Structure 1
Amino acid sequence: MSLDYLKDKVAIVTGASAGIGAATVKSLLNIGMKVVGFARRKERIEKLVDNHNGKLFARSVDLTKPQDILDGFDWVTKNVGPVYVLINNAGVYVSTSVLTGELDEWEKTMDTNFMSIAITCREAVKIMKINKIDGHIINVNSVAGYYDFGDPTAVMYRASKCALVTMTENIRIELARMNSKIKITTLSPGVVKTEIVLASGFSQQMSDGLYEKLPHLESEDVSDTIIYLLSLPQRVHITELMIRPLGEDFKNNS
């Protein structure tokens, strides 16, 4: 299916300032979409491409704050247009356990990785229904939603990803029962080389060592997969997709 149907249509990408989000912004611009990036570091989004023909928009949105999200969607609808594609990419990894962790660490993980996505999905579907748009929501998840690393300090991260699998499937069912043609997909990569290790408070040396040790994907591998999902015929609905680097084996690579 040609991607021409998305030319000049609006996409929202969360966590758009770096990594998978930044790569996805570039890929969506390349197919002619108007792209709005949500992130706290708005200035980094604005610098992603030199010549975007007025199709790149950046909004400072803290996804742990529901009102920020609601205001962001309202701004997009009024100033850019109704959303056709929503890429929920933003996520955090906080090393914390249930028995020794802190409440604020748990809240940060769940608010970013799960609650914010519940809000964005609700708002996107609402806008798509009002405007009679057969849109597509892609929730960038993780193999952690399916695979237990056996690391107690990853419990909240993994719990948020497992919850996202369940929520996405239930949204799909709800849409189907409404006879909606809106698609929703859980896209779960394995290890991807991004800034998430540094953002979690680990050193550059530890980050470099991790990616030297583990087979990993590049951010562009994930953004290319997103474009593939958007290119499929309307009758084809991939609801769950897992992509892993060749040779991924956490037990042997750890």
Structure 2
Amino acid sequence: MERWAGKTALVTGASSGIGAAVSVRLADAGMRVVGLARRAELVDELRSKVHGEGSIHSRQCDLTDCTALAEAFAWVEETFGVVDVIVNNAGVFVHGHITDVGGHQISDEQLNTVLDLNIKAVILGSRRAISSMQKRGVSGHVINISSIAGHYIPFSDLFNVYSSTKHAVCAFSAALLNELAHLGSGIKVTSISPGLVDTAMAGPDNPLPKMRSEDVARWNEPI
């Protein structure tokens, strides 16, 4: 982590859960962290948890809004110069069927939201971060948070849409890695697939064993 001290990391969905834990850990390691979230004030509150040499900065952003995402990246580059690391963490879980056969079909609006946030924002964020790195000759790191649900078909049909988006994140990460390698880029790509994590997304009454967000954050250190 020494090579990243003083560098800039952008973390999406940084207001809580895995994103918050990753932001604090990277700041503790000396990085300048910019957290994108709808609730920017919660990102600001993370500063009190930082005990290292880094810092945490917030930017309010609706990641499903392409214009807002572009403006956020422009602000980061204008303020800090370059995005050295991006952690595409933001995601949403939608509980429902793909079809109306079972009577619990998710709505068109829900479908748009989960696709926009879970995969489209990951692709657009990666593209903009890589553009920032390339313009300044930086061999940065793209880290995408997928899920164990991106590697198998879940036991419940109600998880099918969420699982489909996480399969897409895994496929996108592999495709992006190949593309950058073929182009001779030094930019690294990592996809991380945690199991059930003790966050609001998991639900307070879920009896299954859960990981801590801090455990997942340990895997998110750029190399």
| TM-score, structure 2 as length reference | 0.93
SS in 2 for 1:12: strand
Q: Which residue of 2 aligns with 1:38?
A: 36
Q: Which residue of 1 aligns with 2:123?
A: 118
Q: Which residue of 1 aligns with 2:84?
A: 84
Q: Deviations over 1:156-176 (max 9, x none)?
A: 101101111111111111101
- Aligned pair 1:196/2:192, yes or no? no
Cα-Cα RMSD: 1.4
Extract unaligned runs of 5+ from structure 2. Answer: 100-104
SS in 2 for 1:154: helix
Q: Deviations over 1:13-34 (max 9, x none)?
A: 0000000000001001001100
Residues 96 and 105 in structure 1, CA contact (< 8 A), matched pair in contact too: no
Aligned residue among 199, 204, 210 for 1:208? 204
Q: Distance in 1 between matches of 2:30 and 2:54?
A: 11
- Aligned pair 1:16/2:14, yes or no? yes
SS in 2 for 1:114: helix
SS in 2 for 1:208: coil
Q: Distance in 1 between matches of 2:48 and 2:220?
A: 23
Q: Distance in 2 between matches of 1:93 and 1:51?
A: 27
- Aligned pair 1:106/2:100, yes or no? no
1:209 is displaced (CA, Å) by 2.6
Query: In 2 relative to 1, CA 185–54 (structure 1 residues): closer, same or farther, beyond 3 Å?
Result: closer
| TM-score, structure 1 as length reference | 0.82
Extract unaligned runs of 5+ from structure 1. Answer: 198-206, 232-254
SS in 2 for 1:47: helix
Q: Distance in 1 between matches of 2:106 and 2:214?
A: 34
1:154 is displaced (CA, Å) by 1.3
Counterparts of 1:45-64 in structure 2 under 5 Å? 45-50=43-48, 55-64=55-64
1:54 is displaced (CA, Å) by 7.8
Q: Distance in 1 between matches of 2:110 and 2:6?
A: 39
